[in-house]
Chains A and B, each alone.
Chain A
């Protein structure tokens, strides 16, 4: 499938600018973070070496496990919900017509607006006294939930707002994937008496699996990197119940002035996410290998 390059150095020359930027701004900083994780440093005085001290402190206090499980929980909800909603909306809106174009645009518009704007907007909407949601709930006769003040609910709330913002992205990618499903096959199946669910399961879904993998993987990565939403809406609270990975790293640098510990968290974060991404991608590809030529 590949061609021989016209000159041997061509591929390297073509990749050089990309790799240079990536090495300089991503891999080198990651390496520096790795090195910093073995020091205690506040950006002001000299760094002092502490060996595995940072990792030990994070592990012993249970913080590492707590942060990881919170982030994973949040991530799973976001990925599953946005995938399901995105797929559902794509299926429902994959047709011509002004109404459908309007709904597509409306859903996607949330993706286009900044995280800070979205977070502020929902912070206001979810206010337990003055917010629209609380008013409506009270009007309907229920007691309003303290969406952002209740530690057991807050991660779900944040996940919900995240899903609200990124479903448009998933929907659009699925719409693209749906274009590859040949109408003729679907029509033939319909004539043969296959119902909509069967058509979906047997024809559409197998063709969409690579798309779903893509959405799932990027969704996992995006949700693991959630930051602005926590910073604006909960600042990691209440009682740290929404302190997820990137916010925890931020907190260590900005609030606690512990760059070393932040670096240790970074290293764990990176390894965890690489592992998860690899595992997810591997699992999905394996299961779809038999059915579709990718």
Chain B
């Protein structure tokens, strides 16, 4: 018994040793390989992987290896830790609000190498130059990937039945929500919208405010307060609006789910979900632009491609080759067609128009047309922190606990100043 145990133990030890040896290989990136770190799952991931496959079919010099890195926050930390230990990816994508921060920290590579023809063809409001105030003055470090604006979705047959039309002003919004709500056997909310910075920014813009005024951070001032108070009124006074539970994308999930289940007559969410909602609803889904108050305004959202600085030249070129390809009209329109994000290439958008895609799928057109009233973001390294640390948690508290909107926003400003 002992003998066999010794020999089996020895074999085991050898096996372990072998495993450890293979486990400790130093991974090195071969020429022409692009490591692309991405942060979403589900359908978007599927489309991305298929696009990558197509890229591989069309040429053989560059091979892209896309790997999932968790959600946007986890992906950002992985980028930072990767940079810190000198093992960053070739490419990744980050939310717009964090681009100035990364750029100022000096960790992003310039992307002009994709070609002037490509950058000229980019939809201005979706590219760096049109997304950020003064974005054209900064070196080009970000190229648009999945870009979106918030739009309204409504339950078409329900609206017809109740004689409703999508609202175009805040007053109409409250009115529509009131008439769309129902407390009979099936509780139905008139309106649902995640209590999220993005949608609040939309309201602030509509109320005529800006985040930064005269070089100073004001969080929209009076407009910011009115925006928050609109939500508070609809949730607590009118009782027609449901703030969905959960934070960040969990709230968006809940809101989309309620809409699909017929528990919300109208929701605000990203145009990114057009295809998803259309495919999964048992009723006809309508999309409409957001209403206006003093003016019409929406923020842009989604992510940009970025490339870390300090990569070996061949890797940089391979990455640029892939980016160049992704910005082409064919790819931009394919991405838009299959997800609901907007086409980043003007020629791509034209192609979709020409082939009658927007005629056949009018919901996809809403965001594209709404781009005309898109607001810019300030090019501020603090933007991300203002959003995540100062404003977002306080929005939640203000709506849930019905705290004074003015006091809450003043607190947020103080928090930013205190650092």
Direct contact of A and B (CB under 8 A): yes
Contacts of B102 in A (CB 8 A): 44
In the assembled complex, the Cα of A32 lies from the Cα of B103 at a distance in Å of 28
In the assembled complex, the Cα of A2 lies from the Cα of B103 at a distance in Å of 63
Which of the candidate stretches A167-175, A202-210, A251-259, A275-283 sits at the interface with the other chain? A251-259
8 Å CB interface, B396-414 against A? 396-397, 400-401
Contact flag A235-B245 (CB < 8 Å), given A44-B83, A254-B74: no
Contact of A257 among B74, B257, B385 (CB under 8 A): B385
Contact flag A43-B84 (CB < 8 Å), given A130-B261, A235-B247: yes
8 Å CB interface, A104-160 against B? 128-130, 146, 148-149, 151
Contact flag A151-B400 (CB < 8 Å), given A235-B250, A256-B388: yes
8 Å CB interface, B360-419 against A? 384-385, 388-389, 393, 396-397, 400-401, 418
A-B contact pairs, 17 of them (CB 8 A): A43-B77, A44-B80, A44-B102, A45-B105, A128-B245, A236-B247, A238-B245, A238-B247, A238-B396, A239-B393, A239-B397, A253-B77, A254-B73, A254-B76, A255-B73, A256-B389, A257-B80
Q: How far is the CB of A122 from chain B (nearest CB, A)?
A: 14
Contacts of A240 in B (CB 8 A): 393, 397
Contact with B along A52-87 (1 / 0, CB 8 A): 000001000000000000000000000000000000
Contacts of A129 in B (CB 8 A): 258, 261, 263
| A residues contacting the other copy or chain, number (CB 8 A) | 24
8 Å CB interface, A245-283 against B? 253-257
Q: How far is the CB of B70 from chain A (nearest CB, A)?
A: 9
A44-B102, A146-B245 given; name 19 further pairs at CB < 8 Å: A43-B77, A43-B84, A44-B105, A129-B261, A129-B263, A148-B246, A149-B245, A235-B246, A236-B247, A237-B247, A238-B247, A238-B396, A240-B397, A254-B73, A254-B74, A256-B385, A256-B388, A257-B76, A257-B384
Cβ of B248 under 8 Å from chain A:
yes
Cβ of B107 under 8 Å from chain A:
yes
Contacts of A256 in B (CB 8 A): 385, 388-389
Most buried by A among B246, B258, B261: B246
Contact with A along B247-276 (1 / 0, CB 8 A): 110100000011001010000000000000
Cβ of A234 under 8 Å from chain B:
yes
In the assembled complex, the Cα of A42 lies from the Cα of B83 at a distance in Å of 12
Say yes or no: B80 contacts A43, CB within 8 Å: yes
Cβ of B350 under 8 Å from chain A:
no
Q: How far is the CB of B13 from chain A (nearest CB, A)?
A: 14
In the assembled complex, the Cα of A268 lies from the Cα of B366 at a distance in Å of 51
Which of A's residues lie within 8 Å of B, judged by CB? 42-45, 57, 128-130, 146, 148-149, 151, 234-240, 253-257
The 8 closest A-B pairs by CB, nearest first: A235-B247, A149-B245, A43-B80, A254-B73, A44-B105, A237-B247, A256-B389, A239-B397
Which of B's residues lie within 8 Å of A, judged by CB? 73-74, 76-77, 80-81, 83-84, 102, 105, 107, 245-248, 250, 257-258, 261, 263, 384-385, 388-389, 393, 396-397, 400-401, 418
Contacts of A151 in B (CB 8 A): 400
Say yes or no: B77 contacts A254, CB within 8 Å: yes
Q: How far is the CB of B380 from chain A (nearest CB, A)?
A: 15
Say yes or no: B388 contacts A239, CB within 8 Å: no
In the assembled complex, the Cα of A57 lies from the Cα of B389 at a distance in Å of 13
Contacts of A57 in B (CB 8 A): 418
Say yes or no: B73 contacts A43, CB within 8 Å: no
Contacts of A237 in B (CB 8 A): 245-247, 396
Contacts of B77 in A (CB 8 A): 43, 253-254
Contacts of A146 in B (CB 8 A): 245
Contacts of B418 in A (CB 8 A): 57
Say yes or no: A239 contacts B401, CB within 8 Å: yes
Contacts of A148 in B (CB 8 A): 245-246
In the assembled complex, the Cα of A130 lies from the Cα of B257 at a distance in Å of 10
Say yes or no: B84 contacts A234, CB within 8 Å: no
Contacts of A44 in B (CB 8 A): 80, 83-84, 102, 105, 107
In the assembled complex, the Cα of A254 lies from the Cα of B81 at a distance in Å of 11
Q: Closest residue of chain A to B105, judged by CB?
A: A44
Q: Closest residue of chain A to B245, judged by CB?
A: A149
Q: Closest residue of chain B to A43, judged by CB?
A: B80
In the assembled complex, the Cα of A56 lies from the Cα of B39 at a distance in Å of 35
Contact flag A239-B400 (CB < 8 Å), given A43-B80, A234-B247, A254-B77: yes
Contacts of A42 in B (CB 8 A): 80
Q: Closest residue of chain B to A238, judged by CB?
A: B400
Contacts of B74 in A (CB 8 A): 254
In the assembled complex, the Cα of A228 lies from the Cα of B248 at a distance in Å of 16
Most buried by B among A45, A57, A253, A255: A255
In the assembled complex, the Cα of A237 lies from the Cα of B400 at a distance in Å of 11
In the assembled complex, the Cα of A128 lies from the Cα of B385 at a distance in Å of 32
Say yes or no: A239 contacts B385, CB within 8 Å: no
In the assembled complex, the Cα of A130 lies from the Cα of B245 at a distance in Å of 14
Contacts of B81 in A (CB 8 A): 43
In the assembled complex, the Cα of A96 lies from the Cα of B201 at a distance in Å of 65
Say yes or no: B248 contacts A235, CB within 8 Å: yes
Contacts of B396 in A (CB 8 A): 237-239
In the assembled complex, the Cα of A19 lies from the Cα of B259 at a distance in Å of 56
Q: Closest residue of chain A to B388, judged by CB?
A: A255
Q: How far is the CB of B309 from chain A (nearest CB, A)?
A: 12
Contacts of B76 in A (CB 8 A): 254, 257
Contacts of B393 in A (CB 8 A): 239-240
Q: Closest residue of chain A to B389, judged by CB?
A: A256
Q: How far is the CB of A49 from chain B (nearest CB, A)?
A: 14
Q: Closest residue of chain B to A128, judged by CB?
A: B245
In the assembled complex, the Cα of A240 lies from the Cα of B263 at a distance in Å of 26
In the assembled complex, the Cα of A273 lies from the Cα of B62 at a distance in Å of 52
Contacts of B247 in A (CB 8 A): 234-238
In the assembled complex, the Cα of A255 lies from the Cα of B73 at a distance in Å of 6
In the assembled complex, the Cα of A36 lies from the Cα of B80 at a distance in Å of 16
In the assembled complex, the Cα of A240 lies from the Cα of B397 at a distance in Å of 9
In the assembled complex, the Cα of A151 lies from the Cα of B397 at a distance in Å of 11
In the assembled complex, the Cα of A97 lies from the Cα of B247 at a distance in Å of 47
In the assembled complex, the Cα of A237 lies from the Cα of B263 at a distance in Å of 23
